Amino acid sequence: MNRVIAGKKAKEEGHIFEERFASRYGLSTLGGNKTKVDVKGEFLGKRNLSLKNPSKKHTQVWLPSQKTFSKALSLSSNSRKFVDEFFGGDNYEKYERHRKTYKQIDSSLSKHFLDELNSKSTKLFKCLFTHGYDMTGSVELLGWATEKNNLDSIEFIDLNKFKKDFVKKGKWEFSQTTLHFYIGDKKLLHLQMKGSGKKYSSGYHSPQFHLHGNWMGSWKR
């Protein structure tokens, strides 16, 4: 229940932050769960903005169902099987938290999924940052508040520049229950089973992507 309340509070704070930003720069807010666009209009020579106001050093950027995740990336049958086992569900009640860890999954399935995930960086970037999946509109700039609720602390990331390194240099790696995405020595994302909310519900087993604010200077506006 505390996590649910915290989640609602974070959303409310996020909307207020977007409104404050838009008001300061004469722009308008959009937001909602059907678009990646938080602030609509031109800013720093870029069209539309996704605004992040994290309370920690990372924040959620995508929480699809297992089915949506597999469909969005057009995953192969082997990768879909990995997703089913790694993120879990009712078929895995004999395992802790009703899911398999990396070591409990056939190594050929794990390798296949990792190779496929790394090969589909362009599609994944679109889902995470610019367009979403089955959404409207698109963004070219990401704003990241390095201090909670502080408009003056925002770093602005050119998503076109970020995308080039994301696709060419980024790599996913495994740990037991989480995948981590690196560009060089900078961790930019981690992917895990959500693992919160109603115990072992369908949402509990959703893939959850978190973004870390470890930005390279070359991506900043």
Looking at residue 3, its pLDDT comes to: 58
Q: How many CB atoms lie within 10 A of CB 207?
A: 20
Q: What is the pTM of this model?
A: 0.94
* CB contact at 8 A, 8 and 110: no
Q: What are the CA-CA distances from residue 43 to residues 8, 103, 126 (Å)?
A: 28, 46, 20
pLDDT, averaged per 10 consecutive residues of the chain (221 residues), comes to 60 90 96 92 98 94 98 98 97 96 97 98 98 97 97 98 98 96 97 92 94 98 96
User: Which has the closest alpha carbon to 194: 182, 180, 181, 178?
Assistant: 178
Containing H/E element for 139? none
Contacts for 99-102: CB closer than 8 Å, 24+ residues apart: 99/177, 99/193, 99/205, 101/176, 101/177, 102/174, 102/175, 102/176, 102/177
Here the tokens at position 63 are 């929480």
What is residue 19's predicted lDDT score, i.e. its pLDDT? 96
